[in-house]
Structure 1
Amino acid sequence: MEQSKGRRLILCPLPFQGHINPMLELPFRECLAELLSDGMNSENPIACLISDPLFNFTRSVAESFKLPTIILRTGCAASFALISQVKHVYPLDLPTMPNCDTEDLYQLITNMVNESKASYGLIFNTFEDLEGHALATIRQEYHPNIPIFSLGPFHKCGPTTSSSSSSLLAQDQSCISWLNAQAPKSVVYIAWGLANSGQPFLWVVRPGLVQGSDWLETLPDGLLKALNKRAHVVKWAPQKEVLAHPAVGAFWTHCGWNSTLEGICEGVPMICTPCFGDQMVNARYVSDVWKVGMQLEHGIERGEVERTIRRLMVEEEGEEIKDRALKLMEAANLCHKEGGSSYLLLDGLVQYALSL
């Protein structure tokens, strides 16, 4: 790709996402164009560009090379079906979040939806047995010429060992040894805190998570000593290995989509404490639609936490949830096998991309 010579600029944005992202977009657009140009001239030319819709400039770059764009959505289909309708609720006087410009957020969502509707197809990190209704809703709303491919769960296609992890934080393998000493289905795996439930728990406390504290300094004096061997605290854990461990009986999660899928794929019931974004939708589906978990409806209050843990781990209600979680796990494990929904749709995606 020809490039004119000249003086260079050094860009120094403020360290905020809204300032950094546009400046990163400039070299990324140029880099993408160069990659596509090289690919078009190779012995194996590029069939299409698969891109996240948040990169709303990639379609225009692809079009300059007469390449079709297929959108990749890494979140759940239900949340996408919801944000597709955001244009109908925007005029309402809704509460806003501090330090969040609602106009910018609205424009971001609108651009993402528009890019998706202008694409040649949509890929979702989900599977038909999990989100068949949401996928059907999207297929009904979108033009028939825009096929929908549910190819998830993506993480089931990759390596399962911690040595292949892409985590930015070092994973503490001591938690696996500790889990080996626990009774089957007895441990609550959490990224929060609890002490009065009577259940053993593995707690991930990320360094620097609490302002003014490096790690565990803000915990009450003597708490860990009082818990003795019933608790194990680490800075970071190999989550997929932990969830697959036979000692783990529940997962207390913020319900990010990756964590939700990982819990489903291992048949682990979930306790949901969503924070923002699609986590709210994910948590509601876990507790009310798939019914493979419970949501803390009244915040993180000591008595509420204790009651919820006991309901899930000890009482009959929890047994019913565990049964449903195991059935959903079986469906997740079948979808990538020959003849499964994700297997067939992946083959369909390949054939479709080659036909464009």
Structure 2
Amino acid sequence: MFELAHVLHSQGFSISIIHTQFNAPNPANHADFSFHPIPDGLSEAEASMADLMPLFTSLNGKCAAPFRDRLSQMLVDAAASDQEEPIACLISDAFWYFSQDVADGLGLPRFVLRTGNVSSFVVLAALPLLRQKGYFPIQESQLESPVPEFPPLKVKDIPKVRTSDPELLFTFVTRMRAATKASRGLIFNTFQELEEPAIEKLRREFGIPVFPVGPFHKSVPPSSTSLLPPDGTCISWLNTQPPKSVLYVSFGSLAAISESDFSEIAWGLADSNRPFLWVIRPGLVRGSKGVHPLPEGLGGTVAGRAHIVDWAPQLDVLAHPATGGFWTHNGWNSTLESICEGVPMICLPCFADQMVNARYVSDVWKVGIQLENGIGRGEVATAVRRLMAEEGGEEMRTRIEYLKEKAILCLKQGGSSYKSLQSLTSHMLSF
């Protein structure tokens, strides 16, 4: 959201951020924007990330009134001021469906940003339809079956959201879909050449303009949005490694793995005999609050060809000449950043849109390997060697270099994202 704000600021818009106290941003990191906090009314229990559906539902309910009050006051202040321009529009995340009713009530056009990609959003928005067709509850025996409505997905690729109340999930998606279709347009951090079939499908199904204006991070200066302080020693270590030799391993900020999977990954990396940079953040291993130690006896085995940090400056790591592969959970930011730097992937999706992203990486764009048969150390070592040192990995590298070039060209004058951004800004100013 902040990257999009910077993109629009570069087009001449002034930016006002309305935000909750929950997960509040630091205004000092964004000096060009004005910030307007609102109370969210969440108790400590309600603010838990353990079950996302009650959290999202609570935020949609409790934020509506304070959000309306704040936005209404901003409109009044803008109208009364000789210095302030009128507010052109509201941009909010697809998940905050309450904001559509607020915008309609105030006569303000709303645009929707979805921070995932188009391909996964199309599937997410179809969850109620897939339920009607009998895919839910998902059966263990059907996991490998194809989903004909969304080739090449398998049943196990259908987005999963952690919740104790599945009914809440389908209600949430139904409301999100309706509010999005009522908006003036959908904005995505992607580019036309990467997801053209899904973009066209979404335009047909939703009947509103779709604006792929990414990759955002290639259009804006680096910003201070890191969730943890990055450890810069990994760059110094990468400087000592040969080109394309290092596997970068990071599972993002939310994914968690079991103790046994952690051990198998560690020994598989060791057995691959390839150098690796591994982000072991606090909480990566379920039940562990601090940084989990490597399995006993592993340190000596990987001495000299492994570097462990609790957080890394990911964009710098992926752009480094020594980085030759990325083992990722396939969150969309990580997937897109890897594509933009021409780094092929090993895929270990965990939840939500990550399964769809991983399937596209492995089966559509064919720029990565998906670990589909568990995380045994043998499978891990084989996948690492295949990606980093064998012919199949070189073919993936060639294909992802092609996508990298497309990602560069789309932002240049006349490119698809360049033209989409011009169309978006014109549309925003037309109301």
The TM-score, its normalising length taken from structure 1, stands at 0.90
Q: Which has the larger displacement, 93-102 or 288-297?
A: 93-102
Change (3 A) 1:220 1:32: same
Change (3 A) 1:100 1:33: farther
How many aligned positions are there? 343
Paired with 1:98 and 1:72, the residues of 2 have a C-alpha distance of 22
Superposed CA offset, 1:41-67 (max 9, x none): 444111211111211121222222211
Question: What CA RMSD, in Å, does the superposition of the two structures yield over aligned residues?
Answer: 2.1
Change (3 A) 1:84 1:10: closer
Structure 1 residue aligned with 2:137:
94
Structure 1 residue aligned with 2:351:
276
Asked whether 1:35 is paired with 2:51, we answer no
Partner of 1:90, secondary structure, is helix
Match of 1:74 among 111, 115, 134: 115
Partner of 2:429, secondary structure, is helix
Superposed CA offset, 1:276-297 (max 9, x none): 1110000000000001111001
Structure 2 residue aligned with 1:177:
236
Amino acid at match of 2:128: K
Superposed CA offset, 1:232-264 (max 9, x none): 000000000000000000000000000000000
Paired with 1:231 and 1:343, the residues of 2 have a C-alpha distance of 40
Structure 1 residue aligned with 2:386:
311
Asked whether 1:216 is paired with 2:292, we answer yes
Shift of 1:333: 0.8
Are 1:37 and 1:65, in contact at CA under 8 Å, matched by a contact in 2?
no
Structure 2 residue aligned with 1:5:
none
Partner of 1:195, secondary structure, is helix
Partner of 1:252, secondary structure, is strand
Match of 2:246 among 159, 178, 187: 187
Paired with 1:106 and 1:115, the residues of 2 have a C-alpha distance of 14
Are 1:69 and 1:120, in contact at CA under 8 Å, matched by a contact in 2?
yes
Change (3 A) 1:72 1:12: closer
Structure 2 residue aligned with 1:155:
217
Superposed CA offset, 1:305-344 (max 9, x none): 1111111111111111000010000000111111111111
Paired with 1:10 and 1:127, the residues of 2 have a C-alpha distance of 37
Are 1:29 and 1:57, in contact at CA under 8 Å, matched by a contact in 2?
no
Shift of 1:37: 3.4
Are 2:246 and 2:322, in contact at CA under 8 Å, matched by a contact in 1?
yes
Paired with 1:112 and 1:290, the residues of 2 have a C-alpha distance of 28
Are 1:243 and 1:266, in contact at CA under 8 Å, matched by a contact in 2?
yes
Change (3 A) 1:140 1:213: closer
| Pairing of 1:185-264 with structure 2 (within 5 A) | 185-191=244-250, 193=266, 194-210=269-285, 211-212=287-288, 214-217=290-293, 219-264=294-339
Shift of 1:266: 0.2
Shift of 1:34: 2.6
Change (3 A) 1:212 1:275: closer
Match of 2:366 among 264, 269, 291: 291
Are 2:282 and 2:288, in contact at CA under 8 Å, matched by a contact in 1?
no
Structure 1 residue aligned with 2:188:
124
Paired with 2:298 and 2:237, the residues of 1 have a C-alpha distance of 19
Superposed CA offset, 1:93-137 (max 9, x none): 413987531111111111111111111111111100100110011
Paired with 1:273 and 1:226, the residues of 2 have a C-alpha distance of 24
Change (3 A) 1:293 1:60: same
Paired with 1:274 and 1:316, the residues of 2 have a C-alpha distance of 24
Are 2:203 and 2:210, in contact at CA under 8 Å, matched by a contact in 1?
yes
Paired with 1:81 and 1:281, the residues of 2 have a C-alpha distance of 10
Are 2:186 and 2:210, in contact at CA under 8 Å, matched by a contact in 1?
yes
Shift of 1:11: 6.5
Paired with 2:215 and 2:416, the residues of 1 have a C-alpha distance of 11
Are 2:40 and 2:62, in contact at CA under 8 Å, matched by a contact in 1?
no
Paired with 2:315 and 2:162, the residues of 1 have a C-alpha distance of 34
Amino acid at match of 1:232: H
Paired with 1:118 and 1:205, the residues of 2 have a C-alpha distance of 42
Match of 1:133 among 197, 205, 214: 197
Paired with 2:118 and 2:131, the residues of 1 have a C-alpha distance of 21
Change (3 A) 1:38 1:57: farther
Amino acid at match of 1:304: E
The TM-score, its normalising length taken from structure 2, stands at 0.75
Paired with 1:136 and 1:124, the residues of 2 have a C-alpha distance of 13
Amino acid at match of 1:132: E
Paired with 2:167 and 2:224, the residues of 1 have a C-alpha distance of 37
Amino acid at match of 2:114: R
Partner of 1:232, secondary structure, is strand
Structure 2's unaligned 5+ residue stretches are 1-38, 140-160, 251-264
Partner of 1:242, secondary structure, is helix
Aligned identity (percent) is 52
Structure 2 residue aligned with 1:52:
93
Partner of 2:119, secondary structure, is helix
Amino acid at match of 2:291: W
Shift of 1:354: 1.2
Superposed CA offset, 1:70-97 (max 9, x none): 1111111011111232232223241398
